[in-house]
Amino acid sequence: MLYEEALAKEKSRHMLEEKTLRESLQEQEMQVIASRREITVLKDKMGRVHSNKLEEQEEILNDLRQKYDREKALLQEENRKLTSDLEKVRPIFLSHFVLLLLAGLLVGDVSLFIIIIFKSLSLNTYTHIKSSTSHSDV
């Protein structure tokens, strides 16, 4: 009888331990399932954040391209205007240069002549450009 009691106690303890292990296993499996769900949610969230950042970067890049294109167009237009102004002023420079060259040769003082040419050219350029830009603004 002692043997049967000991066997019954051992069986009871074994069953209790098995029950405890099964419950522990079930809890761990539930934790694994919960962790997998959390990983899936976090991956989805990370994907959305990544997509949002890509869209935001694309918008910034498009804005920069538009700004670059606008500034490029403005600079090209300014360049066309300046080239046009230069083409208008070039004949005046040449005629003044020829007249001053002749005047300098007649006077015979070449160094004085060179100074007069540069002063005249810079003054006429400024005056002509100033007058042509004020007329084009009107």
In the chain, what are the domain boundaries?
Answer: 2-137
At 33-83, the pLDDT tens digits run 999 999 999 999 999 999 999 999 999 999 999 999 999 999 999 999 999
Q: Is the full-model pTM beyond 0.75?
A: no
- The whole-number pLDDT of residue 108 equals 61
- CA separation, residue 106 to residues 94, 100, 109, 119, 121 (Å): 18, 10, 8, 19, 19
Q: Rounded to an integer, what distance in angstroms lies between the CA atom of residue 99 and that of residue 51?
A: 71
Kindly give, in sequence order, each residue whose CB lies less than 8 Å from that of residue 104, ignoring residues fewer than 6 positions away. 110, 112, 113, 114, 116, 117
Mean pLDDT over residues 81-101, rounded? 78
Give the range with max mean pLDDT: 59-63, 82-86, 90-94, 131-135: 59-63
